[in-house]
Structure 1
Amino acid sequence: MSGTIYVINPNSTERVTREIEAAIAPLRMVGGPPITCLTLAEGPPGIQSQRDADGLIPALLKRAAGLEDGAAAFVVACFSDPGMHALREQSERPVLGIAEAGVLTALTLGPRFGIIAMLQNSIPRHLRYLGAMGVMGRFAGDLPVNLTIAEMADDALTLGRMVGVGRTLRDTHHADVLVMGCAGMARFREPLERELGIPVVEPTQAAVTMGIGRVQLGWGGRPLRKD
């Protein structure tokens, strides 16, 4: 399958897209598919509620439709996976959501996973999704750093909050692996992992890794049918 893996940041904050670019840089390789990161200009500055997540879906589908012919796969780079299922219906290409991919990757790294959320009101949305995925039996906990996308521009503040939340998930909730619950946290994976001593999954990296595998193996977006 030829074409580009399009990683779409569904919020309109260009800084987040630059951080995604840096996070997936190690996954660009000779002989691999091109990877392009895009910002959905029509999206909200940060996706902080179910209303934010639902409201951007028409714009996301429109943007992806315009990219379809040159696409090898799509990655929806928001931990709510907004529009992922609708885009899977629309597109002939593989569609990966970073929450789904991040959690599935975590399940291969340890018995129990925890999530570092952006805000307290993110957690009910995460819990609904985890329940639908059927993974609650291996779920340790989901705790927020309580910072907006704008506030997470402060590296020292954000990393300090993430380390504190990560320690609680590890020591009190007995998480063996952590998933970062926002694409805007991407730059903190390595220092967080060093500080906590357990695996930390950056979910956009997880989704792009799966996308590369799908493209290289020729697995398309929709299941093969035998009529």
Structure 2
Amino acid sequence: MNMKTLVVINPNSSETVTQGIEQALQPLQGVGVPIRCLTLAEGPPGIENQRQADLTVAPMLALADRQTDAAGFVIACFGDPGLHALRVQTALPVTGIQEASVMTALTLGHRFGVIAILPQSIPRHLRAFGAMGVSGRLAGDRALGLGVADLADPDRCLAAMIRTGKQLRDVDGAEVLIMGCAGMAQYRSVLQDETGLPVVEPTQAAVSMALGQIALGLTHRPEGAMND
């Protein structure tokens, strides 16, 4: 019998992003069930707009359906493509990194700020925050002007992240920062030191939440509950 695992799906096709996710999750390996990270081969190199996000949903659902040893799922894209569809497909715990990072940020400060990758990412963030009912707690959502592929380059990325984080703090009044892409994980500790604010890395937030739900037997569809 195979050991159950928490399956973290990167819906883009970048193995570099998946490797960054695996590195970010190292502190959580050994806490509850094992964690396995997968890359969606059919996804785009980076998810930077709503169309790209929507096109990943069907192949992501198919990939999740093939994971017969899963104890739960995490969708590792800020925007949570297919989150609610996957919750219909499976009764196992399912968390999305955007939703989980916001919920975590609300426990660390009253107003949260988001560091986005590109300006076109922001409208889908704002729609999600409106649907969650947390727009009143949003201090600001500012874009770096960098694509997903650029996030692996510290020379291009780190200074922009620190500058944007300080703008969210000083201009917008953010008390906690959320990294608005799964590819930013390696910069979390430096960003936290430079801004003096708590910084939420979204995959860490979502996996922490999923591990807790698995340990406690919590799910959106408890055994015996009526199906949709």
TM-score by length of 2: 0.95
Aligned-pair CA distance for 1:223: 3.9
Partner Cα distance (1:223, 1:159) in 2: 43
Match of 2:13 in 1: 12
Alpha carbons 1:112, 1:138 under 8 Å: kept: yes
Match of 1:217 in 2: 216
Match of 1:41 in 2: 41
Alpha carbons 1:103, 1:179 under 8 Å: kept: yes
Match of 1:176 in 2: 175
Alpha carbons 2:42, 2:56 under 8 Å: kept: yes
Match of 1:65 in 2: 65
Partner Cα distance (1:224, 1:107) in 2: 30
Instruction: Find out whether 1:26 has 2:27 as its counterpart.
Output: yes
Identity %, equivalent residues: 57
After superposition, the CA RMSD in angstroms is 1.2
The C-alpha deviation readout for 1:26-54, integer Å capped at 9, x for no partner, is: 00126x20100010000000001100000
Partner Cα distance (1:206, 1:97) in 2: 9
Partner Cα distance (1:193, 1:178) in 2: 9
5+ residue gaps, structure 1: none
Match of 1:100 in 2: 99
Alpha carbons 1:91, 1:221 under 8 Å: kept: no
The alpha-carbon distance between structure 1 residues 147 and 93, as it changes in their structure 2 partners (threshold 3 A), is: same
Partner Cα distance (1:137, 1:186) in 2: 26
Alpha carbons 1:76, 1:84 under 8 Å: kept: yes
> Which ranges of 4 or more aligned residues in structure 1 deviate by more than 6 Å?
none
Larger CA deviation: 150-159 vs 190-199? 150-159
Aligned-pair CA distance for 1:3: 1.4
Match of 1:75 in 2: 74
Alpha carbons 1:5, 1:36 under 8 Å: kept: yes
Aligned-pair CA distance for 1:156: 2.1
Kindly tell me the number of residue pairs found equivalent between the two proteins. Answer: 224
Aligned partner letter, 1:60 = M
Partner Cα distance (2:43, 2:222) in 1: 30
Match of 1:195 in 2: 194
Match of 1:151 in 2: 150
Aligned partner letter, 2:65 = A
Partner Cα distance (1:85, 1:44) in 2: 21
Aligned partner letter, 1:15 = T
The C-alpha deviation readout for 1:146-199, integer Å capped at 9, x for no partner, is: 101122221122010000000000000000000000000011100100110010
Partner Cα distance (2:149, 2:10) in 1: 15
Partner Cα distance (1:182, 1:51) in 2: 17
The C-alpha deviation readout for 1:86-111, integer Å capped at 9, x for no partner, is: 00000121100000000000000001
